[in-house]
Amino acid sequence: MAKQIRTIGVLTSGGDAPGMNAAIRAVVRTALGNGVKVRGIRRGYSGLLNEDIIDMTARDVSDTIQRGGTILQTARCLDMCTEEGQQKAAAICKKYEIDGLVVIGGDGSFKGARALSNLGVNTIGIPGTIDMDIACTEYTIGFDTAVNTAMEAIDKVRDTSTSHERCSVVEVMGRDAGYLALWCGIANGAEKILLPEEHDYNEEQIIQDITENRKRGKKHYIIINAEGVGDSANLARKIEEATGMETRATILGYMQRGGSPTAKDRVYASIMGAKAVQLLMEGKTNRVVGYKHGEYVDFDIDEALDMQKAIPAYQYDIAKGLSI
Amino acid sequence: MAKQIRTIGVLTSGGDAPGMNAAIRAVVRTALGNGVKVRGIRRGYSGLLNEDIIDMTARDVSDTIQRGGTILQTARCLDMCTEEGQQKAAAICKKYEIDGLVVIGGDGSFKGARALSNLGVNTIGIPGTIDMDIACTEYTIGFDTAVNTAMEAIDKVRDTSTSHERCSVVEVMGRDAGYLALWCGIANGAEKILLPEEHDYNEEQIIQDITENRKRGKKHYIIINAEGVGDSANLARKIEEATGMETRATILGYMQRGGSPTAKDRVYASIMGAKAVQLLMEGKTNRVVGYKHGEYVDFDIDEALDMQKAIPAYQYDIAKGLSI
Amino acid sequence: MAKQIRTIGVLTSGGDAPGMNAAIRAVVRTALGNGVKVRGIRRGYSGLLNEDIIDMTARDVSDTIQRGGTILQTARCLDMCTEEGQQKAAAICKKYEIDGLVVIGGDGSFKGARALSNLGVNTIGIPGTIDMDIACTEYTIGFDTAVNTAMEAIDKVRDTSTSHERCSVVEVMGRDAGYLALWCGIANGAEKILLPEEHDYNEEQIIQDITENRKRGKKHYIIINAEGVGDSANLARKIEEATGMETRATILGYMQRGGSPTAKDRVYASIMGAKAVQLLMEGKTNRVVGYKHGEYVDFDIDEALDMQKAIPAYQYDIAKGLSI
Amino acid sequence: MAKQIRTIGVLTSGGDAPGMNAAIRAVVRTALGNGVKVRGIRRGYSGLLNEDIIDMTARDVSDTIQRGGTILQTARCLDMCTEEGQQKAAAICKKYEIDGLVVIGGDGSFKGARALSNLGVNTIGIPGTIDMDIACTEYTIGFDTAVNTAMEAIDKVRDTSTSHERCSVVEVMGRDAGYLALWCGIANGAEKILLPEEHDYNEEQIIQDITENRKRGKKHYIIINAEGVGDSANLARKIEEATGMETRATILGYMQRGGSPTAKDRVYASIMGAKAVQLLMEGKTNRVVGYKHGEYVDFDIDEALDMQKAIPAYQYDIAKGLSI
């Protein structure tokens, strides 16, 4: 028979992402509405190990759905990668009567959730990262906000790029996964998108393409560079030297991680938060919530961590076709 | 053997929606990139019947992906509902050597496309409406922008509602389909969502719920009313009379139809525009592009028009559970 | 010798306005930084009479400068218009050892401040209203945010208005002062601005102007109507009947009162808040802070309430000249 | 007797700034409305020397007031600094019958206008730069938009900075004038503002202040660095090393130059554009339009270039007082 859940803990872990507050709010209110107590764990697993734990009421999450960041804060926690840390964490959960734990974060955070599940604390993961690099789900909390933030910034870069007939190299986040770069590339009508998945970074080719585009009458040229593919400042310098076209680099940086979440991030995060509590109440553990093929689903964490995700190559091809 | 397409026409029809320009741009550039000429038809079917037709180059759609509205404009056209009008439209397509036509709009617009297909003009529909009320697809161009526009406006209403401890009745668009209302309801953390699909509009119940919520300590109370469900001004007046809580109605109106499209609207519209041209080039006709179960797909228009769509009831239930 | 101030009270009164939190924050931190205690009075004068008073620390205003509304909330208070109410309010100030009181609001709120000053409580007013209708100052907290909110909404209305070649009647706030309407009129490039100050509301003239504009090739027509000048819905109906041009009314409503404040509202409100405390510390009372001729200044409240303000007629003329 | 103006030229010069299009629109429509022809000169003085000149109608500036950048584009032009270039420019003005020229730009651009005035072409300057570094005016086109753009980006940085309890070094534009940095410092509630005007850049002091702030309970720490004062990346590294607080640098870059202009930028630019034409029609030359002490004024260009502007030190002091 499924374990009856009396108290749920909730934490956010890894990099913060807009919409995490919507997920926390949904966890808190769904639990309370079903007669389950909620404890908020501050600063991720680090706070769990330090017993940085607070009781949460429905009012504590009032007026938070529209806020960026995470009201529970987050932190890195190397101790949670050790068996000793994991056992301490499980013991603290028991001390605070936390029967079920919702972990909002990425793959690294889910590994901690798996460890706790093995140690008898029921756990459910919710995918939260602006990078979209979680294989089991087509949606991760924060991606939609981050891509809109980056896109709006690049729209502004484009204004000045057009006025001056410049080339602009804009670096977006996504060192290991090019979703942000691909989406901005399409949404901003960029002439070139540099993705970590493509493995074809070639400055000669970029310079040649710019030269050809100018002949076809393009007034400005925007290159979206996923962090780490090319060195934006160097690339800009080389383009200017080779083509004579004034070229500037912009690195969007940490603004991509914040901001009031978009409707999609608020709605999906709310539904995922509610679903996580429902799963705990059904006695489930070691599961991660996802959105796949148009439905909210859940997977075994082990299974989820083994999945592979590939950036859709046809979309990259479409983007190339639209930059003529 | 499939008809070889040499010239593609493109028009926007019905209510405009943010992202239509991204779709037009994708149609134009995908066609041109494949050696196919493009004619833009202005003012929808009405413009087609008036031969309001222009040649389009890749530069004509430069700097348009980020713009609201539709550069081709749109209009109502009753004549296109008549057989005579349809035959005239087909004749004009032939006169202008338009072998394939891309129609961006809603169900009504697709009926025109079907008629033209029957008369020998290959046609592909792209779903464009902020109402999301097209059954064959989980995405329609403009919905994502409209819901974010409405949500951001309601965030602002919420600020003043909280400062004054008021009740606010906010009317969003969606006379026949409550998607905008449902999403805003969840995204804005509304206390009550009035949907056309629910058929349970009950002012007594609303007033009773407000009274109970105030006892539980809610500082403000937001009701999202899908246009046409309740009369917003009357409802506000009745609530104030019955509860003594200061209540104000806001009707968001036409601002929901405009604005620079979100990343999602730009990306999906771009891919759908490219796909529509690919379908025409494969010799397809009488198809509508859709996004379903996580993939870009296409359906026979007749089939698509016969499909039924229901608002997801479980999401409505989740929204209720989160407004405690 | 000037009275030494040991405890300052702060309240927001009348309609809320974005930037009030920046002013509260500046009052709190400037006072604390100078060794003066601060009490926050919730819900305006009403809260003062109900002793809804809290001690405030520097941390209580952390993370508030970017928030719309007022964290101290606001309310109407008829009792404060009576001598009895005013004496009770002064007595409560003394009970709570409030030597100096900062009142953020409009002319009505300043009358209460004057009454309290006469009863021995030193008071300083800060102009806060989105309507700009305070004669002694060229800036009032909230106007800049409100005008940008309205303008951005009207930009969106314009998108759809252009796509459909419609006429749009957009109603903005400002029943007694047309600043919002005038600014939106210029900033949105409206064809017609209806101001309460002009006293020349003439539907025949409006209809005639639309007809002439269409002849000159204007694709759309936007009328900004200051709340109460014309009835927006009726006007829209009459225009459509008379000109045949599809016409829609949009009433922007309460969203104009909320939202994260603009830079100007945050900066000016911060400086005014700091200045209000400085004035109290100098022993001043019955003063209102203003911004005039490029400088932060202060006036006697009696003097300020007697001043008259006229909307700049030359700007209205310029607006007319630009709508050709 | 004043020279009668029959044709006005207009150009934008130097760095582009949001609101320049509103000024262009006002110049075009005010001139046309007064029976004066308008020629648009593309790409600044460089375009003038290359005779890149187009006739402009009232419709050419339709739908431009809300757009970032400059529809006339801009470019650097070293030739215009030489006497030979200036004489060629004057000759081209005469060839195109340009009696009066409106130059939208900064001090460098006004020097070109002065030279042309000396050579018999009547010229009026309009201050356009996001840096606010034009001494004769309290307002320059683009500053208000730029400061709001930067502030909104920093609000987002703050979200993630708070979630992670990080220190953030944010670099804004303004190498020679700290207005953007000062305003963002106040508007974002930054803990530290580094201005070029202060000449007191001291990394030891910054590190010491952070340490003290943390003791007072500050959860995050934001430093606004005007471009060029400190090296943002190095400073971030040093802070992290010295304090152990995770520290990240963000360089906002070229996004600060673009974007749809704010209401203030649209309104002031419109009035300044109209005023520039009025001055030309009155026969004035070698003048620059300004906004000073609450009024639109104009100065002799020589006089204007000699003026000095100092950042308001009391505002910097207030900012320090508010970051407790």
Q: Which residues pair with A103 in a beta bridge?
A: A11, A125
Interface of D with A in 101-120 (CB under 8 A): none
Q: How many CB pairs under 8 A join C and D?
A: 118
Q: Distance between CA atoms of C68 and C39, rounded to whole angstroms?
A: 21
The answer to whether the Cβ–Cβ distance between D270 and C318 falls below 8 Å is: yes
Widest CA span in chain D:
73
Instruction: Look at residues C189, C184, C157 and name the one whose alpha carbon lies nearest to residue C172.
Output: C184
The end-to-end CA distance of chain C, in Å, is 62
Structural domain boundaries, residue C86: 7-142+261-306
In chain C, what percentage of residues exceed pLDDT 70? Answer: 99
- For the stretch B173-178, contacts whose Cβ atoms lie closer than 8 Å and that sit 24 or more positions apart, written own/partner, are B173/B130, B173/B131, B173/B146, B173/B226, B173/B227, B173/B252, B173/B256, B173/B257, B174/B131, B174/B133, B174/B226, B174/B227, B175/B226, B175/B227, B175/B228, B176/B131, B176/B133, B177/B131, B177/B132, B177/B133, B177/B309, B177/B311, B178/B226, B178/B311
Q: Which of C257, C279, C295 is the last residue of a domain?
A: C257
pLDDT of D100 reads 97
Q: How far is A185 from chain B (nearest CA, A)?
A: 9
Long-range contacts of C132-135 (CB under 8 A, 24+ apart): C132/C177, C132/C179, C132/C180, C133/C106, C133/C107, C133/C174, C133/C176, C133/C177, C133/C179, C133/C309, C134/C106, C134/C107, C134/C290, C134/C304, C134/C309, C135/C304, C135/C307, C135/C308, C135/C309
Q: Does D74 touch chain A (CB under 8 A)?
A: yes
Contact A296, A53 (CB under 8 A): no
Residue D166 assigned ligand-binding role: yes
Distance of alpha carbon C45 from its chain centroid, rounded?
18
Contact state of A318 with B155 under an 8 Å Cβ cutoff: no
pLDDT in tens, chain A (324 residues): 567 899 999 999 999 999 999 999 999 999 999 999 999 999 999 999 999 999 999 999 999 999 999 999 999 899 999 999 999 999 999 999 999 999 999 999 999 999 999 999 999 999 999 999 999 999 999 999 999 999 999 999 999 999 999 999 999 999 889 999 999 999 999 999 999 998 889 999 999 999 988 887 777 899 999 998 999 999 999 999 999 999 999 999 999 999 999 999 999 999 999 999 999 999 999 999 999 999 999 999 999 999 998 999 999 999 989 987
Q: Which chain A positions have a beta carbon within 8 Å of D249's beta carbon?
A: 253
Looking at the complex, does the CB of residue D156 fall below 8 Å from at least one CB of chain A?
yes
Report the alpha-carbon distance of residue B297 to residue B303 in Å, rounded: 13
Does residue A163 form part of some domain? yes
- CB of D18 within 8 Å of a chain A CB? The answer is yes
Q: What is the mean pLDDT of residues C115-142?
A: 97
What are D247-304's pLDDT values in tens digits? 999 999 999 999 999 999 999 999 999 999 999 999 999 999 999 999 999 999 999 9
How far is it, in rounded angstroms, from Cα C159 to Cα B18?
9
The half-sphere exposure of C211 on its side-chain side, counting CA atoms within 13 A, is 12
Per the CB < 8 Å rule, is B188 touching A66? Answer: yes
Is B293 assigned a ligand-binding role in the annotation?
A: no
Is D214 among the annotated ligand-binding positions?
A: no
CA dist B278 → B27, B122, B283, D190 (Å):
9, 12, 9, 52
| Closest-CA distance of chain A to residue B87, Å | 34
The answer to whether D254 faces chain A, any CB pair under 8 Å, is yes
Cα B309 from Cα B315, distance rounded (Å): 15
Q: Does the residue B45 lie in any domain?
A: yes
Q: What is the predicted pLDDT for the residue at D176?
A: 87
CA neighbor of B56 nearest in space, from B69, B42, B44, B70: B42
pLDDT at position B1 over 60: no
Testing the interface with A: which of B24, B64, B66, B224 to mutate, by most A Cβ within 10 A?
Answer: B66
Average pLDDT of chain D to the nearest whole number: 95
C-alpha distance from D187 to closest chain C C-alpha (Å): 5
Over range B51-71, report the average pLDDT.
96
Q: What whole-number distance in Å separates Cα of residue B307 and Cα of residue B235?
A: 34
Q: C293 CB near a chain D CB, below 8 Å?
A: yes
Question: Could you say which of B99, B131, B144, B298 is catalytic?
Answer: B131
- Domain tally, chain D: 2
Interface test with chain A among D16, D157, D163, by most A beta carbons within 10 Å = D163
Contact D262 C267 (CB under 8 A): no
Looking at the complex, does the CB of residue A66 fall below 8 Å from at least one CB of chain D?
no
What confidence tens digit (pLDDT) does each residue in A124-179 have? 999 999 999 999 999 999 999 999 999 999 999 999 999 999 999 999 999 889 99
The string of pLDDT tens digits covering residues C257-312 is 999 999 999 999 999 999 999 999 999 999 999 999 999 999 999 999 999 989 99
Q: What's the whole-number mean pLDDT along residues B123-139?
A: 96
Contact C298, C290 (CB under 8 A): yes
C154 CA: distance to closest CA in chain B (Å): 7
Query: Is position A72 within any domain?
Result: yes
**Closest to C145 (Cα-Cα) out of B163, D262, A152:** D262
> Looking at the structure, do residues D36 and D15 belong to the same domain, yes or no?
yes
Q: Out of C55, C60, C63, C131, which one is annotated catalytic?
A: C131
Give the residue from B194, B249, B246 showing the smallest Cα distance to B219. Answer: B246
CA–CA dist B229, D6 (Å, integer) = 60
Instruction: Based on the fold, state whether residues B130 and B43 are members of the same structural domain.
Output: yes
Mutate to test the interface with B, among C163, C251, C256 (most CBs of B within 10 A): C163
Residue B38 and residue B172 in one domain? no
CA atoms of D195 and D190, how far apart (whole Å): 13
Inform me whether the C-beta atom of residue B153 falls under 8 Å from chain C C-beta atoms. yes
pLDDT (mean) for B143-151:
98
B23 vs A contacts (CB less than 8 Å): none
- Model confidence at B2, in pLDDT bands (50, 70, 90)? low
The answer to whether D220 is a known ligand-binding residue is yes
Neighbouring chains to C with at least 3 Cβ pairs closer than 8 Å: B, D
Q: Which positions in chain A touch D145 (Cβ < 8 Å)?
A: none
Residue-wise pLDDT tens digits, D199-211: 889 999 999 999 9
Question: What is the SS3 string spanning chain A?
Answer: CCCCCCEEEEEECCCCCCCHHHHHHHHHHHHHHCCCEEEEECCHHHHHHCCCEEECCHHHHCCCCCCCCCCCCCCCCHHHHCHHHHHHHHHHHHHCCCCEEEEEECHHHHHHHHHHHHCCCEEEEEEECCCCCCCCCCCCECHHHHHHHHHHHHHHHHHHHHHHCCEEEEEECCCCCCHHHHHHHHHCCCCEEECCCCCCCCHHHHHHHHHHHHHCCCCCEEEEEECCCCCHHHHHHHHHHHHCCCEEEEECHHHHHCCCCCHHHHHHHHHHHHHHHHHHHCCCCCEEEEEECCEEEEEEHHHHHHCCCCCCHHHHHHHHHHCC
CA–CA dist A79, A16 (Å, integer): 19
Write the CATH number for B62. Answer: 3.40.50.450
- Which pairing describes strands B53-55 and B37-41: parallel, antiparallel, or unpaired? antiparallel
d(CA A80, CA A41): 14
Query: B11 with B135, same domain?
Result: yes
Cβ-nearest to B165 among C15, C73, C251: C73
Please answer whether residues C72 and C45 qualify as being in contact, where contact means their C-beta atoms are separated by less than 8 angstroms.
Answer: no
- Spatial CA neighbour of A157 closest among A204, A189, A195: A189
**Domain check: are C69 and C156 in the same one?**
no
pLDDT at C249 over 90: yes
What pLDDT, on the 0 to 100 scale, is given for residue C2?
A: 64
pLDDT at D1 over 70: no
Please report, for the domain that includes residue A212, its CATH number: 3.40.50.460
Contact present, D24 and D44 (Cβ < 8 Å): no
Q: Which residues contact D263 (CB under 8 A, 6 or more apart)?
A: C144, C147, C148, C151, C183, C184, C187
Q: Across residues C132-151, what is the average pLDDT?
A: 97
Residue A188 forms contact with B (CB below 8 Å): yes
**D39: contact with A, CB 8 A cutoff:** no
Tokens of C127: 């102009």
Q: Which residues pair with A104 in a beta bridge?
A: A12, A126
In this prediction, residues D84-105 reach a mean pLDDT of: 98
B149 at A interface, C-beta within 8 A: no
Strand partners, D12: D104
Q: Closest Cα of chain B to C18: distance in Å?
A: 9
- Residue D31 sits in the same domain as residue D12: yes
Answer yes or no: do A249 and A149 share one domain.
yes
Pick C4 or A247 by higher pLDDT: A247
Same domain, A44 and A189: no
Rama region for A277: left / alpha / beta (φ>0; ψ in -120 to 50; rest): alpha
pLDDT at A2: 64
- Which chain C residues are within 8 Å of B156, Cβ to Cβ? 68, 149, 254-259
DSSP state of D80: G
Contacting chains of B (3 CB pairs or more, <8 Å) are A, C
Cα–Cα distance measured from residue B172 to residue B192, given in angstroms and rounded to the nearest whole number: 13
Binned at pLDDT 50, 70 and 90, residue C39 comes out as very high
DSSP letters, C238-271, are: HHHHHH---EEEEE-GGGGG-SPPPHHHHHHHHH
The answer to whether residue C233 neighbours chain B at the CB level (below 8 Å) is no
Residues 6+ apart with CB under 8 A from A184: A147, A150, A151, A154, A170, A172, A190, A193, A224, B263
Report CA Rg, chain A.
Answer: 22
pLDDT value, residue C324 = 80
Task: Confirm or deny that C108 is annotated as ligand binding.
Answer: yes
Is there a binding annotation on residue D287? Answer: no
Percent of chain D with pLDDT strictly greater than 90: 92
Residue D323 lies in a domain: no
- For C285-302, letters b (16+ CB in 10 Å) and e give bbbbbbbeeeebebbbbe
| In a domain? residue C50 | yes
Mutate which of B65, B78, B159 to test chain C, going by most C C-beta atoms within 10 A? Answer: B159
Q: Is the pLDDT of residue B63 over 90?
A: yes
The DSSP bridge partners found for residue A170 are A224, A250
Contacts of B68 in chain C (CB under 8 A): 156, 159-160
B247 Cα to chain C: minimum distance (Å): 11
Q: Do B163 and C69 touch (CB under 8 A)?
A: yes
DSSP B141: B
Could you tell me if residue B24 is inside a domain? yes
A284, amino acid identity? K
- pLDDT, tens digit, for every residue of D197-254? 988 899 999 999 999 888 877 778 999 999 989 999 999 999 999 999 999 999 999 9
User: CB distance from C253 to chain B under 8 Å?
Assistant: yes
pLDDT in tens, D121-166: 999 999 999 999 999 999 999 999 999 999 999 999 999 999 999 9
Residue C300 is predicted with a pLDDT of 97
In a domain, A312, yes or no: no
D51 burial (CB, 10 Å; 0-12 / 13-18 / 19+) is exposed
DSSP3 helix / strand / coil % (chain B, rounded to 5):
45, 20, 35
Together in a domain, B154 and B25: no
Choose the mutation target among D21, D28, D60, D66 for the interface with C, i.e. most C CBs under 10 Å. Answer: D66
**Does residue C131 carry a catalytic annotation?**
yes
Quickly tell me which residue has 């009740």 as its tokens: B167
Do D282 and D154 sit in the same domain of this protein?
no
Residues B130 and B80 in one domain: yes
How many Å apart are CA B243 and CA B239, to the nearest integer? 6
Percent of all residues in chain D with a pLDDT value above 70, rounded to a whole number = 99
Distance from CA of C81 to the nearest CA of D (A): 34
CA separation, residue D180 to residues B83, B150, B280, D32, D183 (Å): 63, 31, 52, 36, 5
Q: Cβ contact (<8 Å) for C156 and B162?
A: no
**Positions of D marked active-site:** 131
Measured between alpha carbons, how far is C310 from C232 in angstroms, rounded to an integer? 24
The per-residue pLDDT for D214 is 84
Distance separating alpha carbons of residues D77 and A51, to the nearest angstrom: 64
Secondary structure of residue D99 in the 3-state scheme: coil
Regarding whether D246 and D295 lie in a shared domain, the answer is no
Match 């009895």 to its residue by tokens: C84
> Which of A257, A272, A291 is where one domain is finished?
A257
Q: C-alpha distances in angstroms, A211 versus A189, A191, A204, A240?
A: 18, 12, 11, 11
Residue D313 in domain: no
Q: Which residues of A touch D163 (CB under 8 A)?
A: 12, 16, 69-70, 73-74
C130 is in an annotated binding site: yes
The catalytic site residues of A sit at: 131
